[in-house]
Amino acid sequence: MSAKIRVYNPMGYPPKVTPVRMAPRLDTLEGKTVYLVDCRFDDGDLLMQQMAAWFAQHMPSVRTVLRSKAGTHPEDDPALWQEIQAKGDAAVVAVGH
């Protein structure tokens, strides 16, 4: 007996992505303010706390500011980005795991 089955490809179509240039690299972090931003993905806050502790121990002249994004990880947070532009020299925006 030969039965036919129908199989669908689950891959779908990826969205169009418009690349954006990365910010220019700083010569040094000494004396700078670095924002460590938790995107509210699993354990991202713990990762950022560990990074802040590392900076405190190994690069004490670097000021770190811990922030959590408003909303969930894919949502925009214009107020936070404006704060970082106004008060920060660099930012690490990361997810957990």
Give the domain ranges of the chain: 39-69+90-97
Residue 77 has pLDDT above 60, yes or no: yes
Neighbours of 39 (CB within 10 A): 19
Q: What is the CA radius of gyration of the chain?
A: 20
**What local confidence, expressed as pLDDT, does residue 97 receive?**
57
This prediction has a pTM of: 0.77
**What local confidence, expressed as pLDDT, does residue 67 receive?**
96
- Residue-wise pLDDT tens digits, 11-68: 888 889 999 898 889 999 999 999 999 998 888 889 999 999 999 999 999 999 999 9
Three-state secondary structure call for residue 27: coil
Query: Residue 92: which pLDDT band, with cuts at 50, 70 and 90?
Result: very high
